[in-house]
Amino acid sequence: MPVLGTLTSVPVLDHLDLVAPSTAEALRSWPYAGQVGVCEIDPDLADTAALTAAFDLPLTSSGNCVLVAGSRGGDQRIAACVVPANTRADVNTLVRRVLDVRKASFLSMDRAVAESGMEYGGITPVGLPAGWRLLVDAALTGEDVVCVGSGLRRSKLLIPGPALAHLPGAEVIDGLGR
């Protein structure tokens, strides 16, 4: 099972109780799930700065998943953007252009939690609602292992970087994180 920094994982398919229900459902049918590990953590360490410090994780191998929305012609468009933790999603230029909206902004915490069905600080690209776009920074797909949320604050997923490109609906974009 994948290891990153001092995080060691167990097979996620044997421990689906450690992930959000929608994440578990998605993993059951994803061909790459057998390569994914899950690590139980203290929920107080779920935020990137605390997690990377506690487990000696490289920021380039830590993926932050942020939710962004915009609209055009009354059509609401939501995307999850997965970027390396040492960057910020280029919402005002690149994401706005990809979504083809005039203005894109981060979902509020309450809305992100309600619409994703995941806990804030644990939102993951695995098991997002149908119809949402999934934008993945190309840099993460070049990492051996990437640490992302599990849908819950009490655990993290360790996913082979190249497998991120094979998540359902994933769009790999160069320079998504700046």
Outline where DSSP puts E strands in 32-108: 37-40, 63-72, 75-84, 104-106
The CATH number assigned to the domain with range 3-173 reads 3.90.960.10
Give the pTM. Answer: 0.95
**What is the pLDDT of the chain when averaged over all its residues?**
96
Instruction: Look at residue 74 and tell me whether its pLDDT is greater than 90.
Output: no
Using CB atoms within 10 Å of the CB of residue 140, give its burial: 0 to 12 exposed, 13 to 18 middle, 19+ buried: buried
- Which pLDDT value is given to residue 77? 95
Which of the 8 DSSP states describes residue 153?
Answer: T
Number of helices (H) and strands (E) in the chain: give both, helices first. Answer: 6, 11
pLDDT at 18 over 90: yes
Residues 22-51: tens digit of each pLDDT: 999 999 999 999 999 999 999 999 999 999
Q: Give residue 108's pLDDT band: very low, low, confident or very high (50, 70, 90).
A: very high
Find the angle CA(3)-CA(7)-CA(13) to the nearest 5 degrees: 65
Token readout for 156 is 């993290």
Percent of the chain scored above 70 by pLDDT? 100
Q: pLDDT category, 60, cuts 50, 70, 90?
A: very high
- Determine the Cα–Cα distance for residues 77 and 94; give it in Å rounded to an integer: 14
CB atoms within 10 A of CB 121: 18
Per-residue pLDDT tens over the stretch 121-146: 999 999 999 999 999 999 999 999 99
